[in-house]
Amino acid sequence: MVDFGGWMMPVQYTSIMDEHRTVRHAVGVFDISHMGEVFVSGPRALPWLNRLFTNNVERIEPGSSQYTFMLNEQGGVIDDLLIYHYAPGEYLLIVNASKIGEDVAWLERHLEEGVELRNRSDEYAGLAIQGPNAAALFDLVFPGETLPARNRIESVSFQGNPLFVARTGYTGEDGFELFFPSGPVAVVWRELLEKGAALGVKPAGLGARDSLRLEMCYPLNGSDLSPERTPLEAGMAFFVDLAKDDFIGKSRLDAQKRDGLPARLVPFRMLGKTPPPRSHYPVYCNGAVVSETTSAGLSPSLETGIGLAYLPPECARAGEKIEIDIRGRRFEAVIEKKPLYRKKA
C-alpha cells in the first residue's frame, strides 16, 4: 500500500506481473475510488465546458463520452479527463485524484451564471473492470442489464442501487467502469470477485494499471503530461479541436501548429538485454543528452524495457536510435510507433 493523491492505494495484491497478465488474458478489477467525480449542469453548461476544454463538447451526444484536456493560459496541461454526457444537459467529469482540488478551484474560478458545479468526489466510489472476460463478468453481476457500447454511459441497478456504467478504459483491453455513491462499494467489489472466479478474475493494483497503460502509450498526468507541455507536444492532437472559436490555451496551440513543435512525446523500446528503465533517466541522441524519460519500466507483455520521452523532432522519428542512461551506463533503444503493445490476430 502506498500514498497516492492522499489515498492509501494498493500497488499490488499478488504481483504486478501476475495482475498485468490477468488483465491481458482474463479480467482484473481495479479500485479507482480515488478518481474525482464532478457534476456539471445548467442552461449554460455546454458553452462553458466547450470554452474550458480542448475537445468539442458539442459533439458528445447524451449517453456518450469524450476524452479531453483542461489547459492553462499558456496551453500547458492542467489535467486530462473524461466527460460523460449522461443525460441531456447533465455532465460528469472524471478527473485525476491528485488534481481534484486544483481542478475544482480552476473550474470555480471560471464559473459563469447558468452553470451548476457539484464536486461529489468524497461521496463516490469507482471500479474499473478490464480484460477480455469483462463483458461476461458484467452479465453475471448484472443479469438482465445491457453493457453499453464503447465510449457510452448508462445507468444500471445493483440490489436496488443505481450505478453509472461506462465503457472507456485505460488498459487497451475491453472493459467497463462503475461510478456510484460509495455505500455499497464493498458489496459490489465482493460480487465481482466471487461471481467472476470461473472467468479468472483477480483484483489489480496501481502497478499493473501503470504497466498496462504504458504498453498502450496512454499518458499519465504528472509524468507524461504537465503544465509546461501542450497536448500537441504530447502527441494528443486528436483530442484538440483547433477549429473551435476559442478555448483557454488555444493561442499557444495555434502557434505551435503554425511554427512547429519544440519536442514530441514518443515511445521507445530497449534493444537487447538491459536493466529496466525508469522515469527521469537521461536520454541521449547523437551522443548528447537531449531529454529524460517521463515514464518507463519493464513491459510484462513484450518482456523488455519500454518508456516515453519528449524528444526534439530530429530524434523523434520512428526507427531512430537513442540511448538511455541506466544507473551510469548507456543502453540502446529505438523509437517506435504507438501503441507498443498490439494484440495478436
Domain boundaries, the chain: 2-212, 263-345
Q: Give the integer Cα–Cα distance in Å for 56 and 285.
A: 37
Average pLDDT over residues 267-282: 97
**pLDDT value of position 5:** 73
> How many CB atoms are located within 10 Å of the residue 108 CB?
10
**Third-level CATH fold of 2-212:** Gyrase A; domain 2 (3.30.1360)
The CATH code for residues 263-345 is 2.40.30.110
Beta pairing class for 2-4 and 329-335 = unpaired
Does 307 have pLDDT greater than 90? yes
Q: Is the pLDDT of residue 291 over 90?
A: yes
pLDDT confidence tier of residue 4, bands split at 50, 70 and 90? confident
DSSP-derived letter for residue 148 is P
Q: Give me the chain's average pLDDT, please.
A: 97
In the numeric block, which cell numbers belong to residue 147? 453493457
- Are 250 and 72 in contact, with CB atoms under 8 Å apart? no
Mean pLDDT, residues 283-307 taken together: 97
Q: What share of the chain is helix, strand, coil (3-state, %, to 5)?
A: 25, 35, 40
Burial of 293 from C-beta contacts in 10 A (0-12 / 13-18 / 19+): buried
Q: β-strand 27-31 against 201-204: which pairing, if any?
A: parallel
Q: Is the pLDDT of residue 254 over 80?
A: yes
The arithmetic mean of pLDDT across residues 1-28, rounded, is 94
Average pLDDT for 176-203: 98
Q: Which three cell numbers stand for residue 64?
A: 456518450
SS3 7: strand
> Mean pLDDT, to the nearest integer, of 87-114?
97
pLDDT band of residue 345 (cuts 50, 70, 90) is: low
Q: What is the pTM of this model?
A: 0.96
Question: What 3-state DSSP class applies to 264?
Answer: strand
Residue 338 has pLDDT above 80, yes or no: yes
pLDDT at position 344, please? 77
HSE-CB for 251 with a 13 A CA cutoff: 4
Give, as one character, the DSSP assignment of residue 223: T
Are 2-212 and 263-345 in the same CATH fold?
Answer: no
Q: How far is CA 158 from the centre of its chain?
A: 26
Give the pLDDT score at 303: 96
